[in-house]
């Protein structure tokens, strides 16, 4: 009989909470030591732009396209997780369908990448 199979679930939960708390405390402690103190460094930083007058500028369409692509690929990843849960039940036909699904995803990503839909910088083709 191994140690893990004989462990009381409450003890396992307690050990998990203790280890997670220690890891969190160590990570926060290291972050405090590494961070440079200063008022500007502690400000809100969102969407890659510091707060200020520039935050009121209109958002370009490329950011919206990237957000839409992210949502599409995120939903498709959730569908793959659902397939993984039922993989034994659906068998080989399900694996073939999931493979076709992933290949189509990769083809769509390659098309978006080649088309430049994921670029947010200056347009290189015009310069």
Residue 22: the pLDDT is 97
Band of pLDDT at residue 32, cut at 50, 70 and 90: confident
Q: What span, in angstroms and rounded, lies between the C-alpha atoms of 4 and 16?
A: 13
Residue 46 phi/psi, 5° resolution?
Answer: -135, 140
Residue 81 half-sphere exposure, CB side, CA atoms within 13 Å?
6
User: Under DSSP, is residue 89 helix (H, G, I), strand (E, B) or coil?
Assistant: helix
Q: Which two tokens stand for residue 14?
A: 């307690």
Q: Is the Cα dihedral 69, 73, 74, 79 positive or negative? A: positive
For 5-16, write each residue's pLDDT tens digit.
667 888 889 999
Q: What is the pLDDT of residues 74-93, one digit of tens each?
A: 888 888 888 889 989 999 99
What does pTM read for this prediction? Answer: 0.47
pLDDT tens readout for residues 43-67: 665 666 656 665 566 667 777 778 8
Quote the CA–CA distance of 19 and 3 in Å, as a whole number. Answer: 18
* Mean of pLDDT values over 15-27: 96
Angle CA 61–63–69, to nearest 5: 105
* pLDDT value at residue 17: 96
């Amino acid at each position: 009989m191994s140690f893990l199979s004989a462990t009381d679930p409450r003890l396992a939960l307690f050990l998990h909470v203790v280890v997670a708390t220690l890891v969190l405390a160590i990570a926060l402690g290291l972050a405090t030591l590494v961070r440079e103190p200063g008022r500007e460094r502690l400000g809100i930083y969102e969407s890659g732009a510091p707060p200020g007058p520039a935050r009121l500028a209109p958002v370009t369409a490329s950011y919206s396209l990237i957000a839409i692509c992210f949502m599409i690929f995120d939903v498709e990843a959730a569908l793959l997780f659902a397939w993984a849960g039922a993989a034994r039940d659906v068998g080989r036909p399900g694996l073939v369908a999931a493979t076709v699904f992933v290949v189509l995803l990769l083809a769509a990503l390659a098309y978006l990448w080649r088309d430049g839909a994921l670029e947010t910088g200056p347009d290189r083709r015009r310069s």
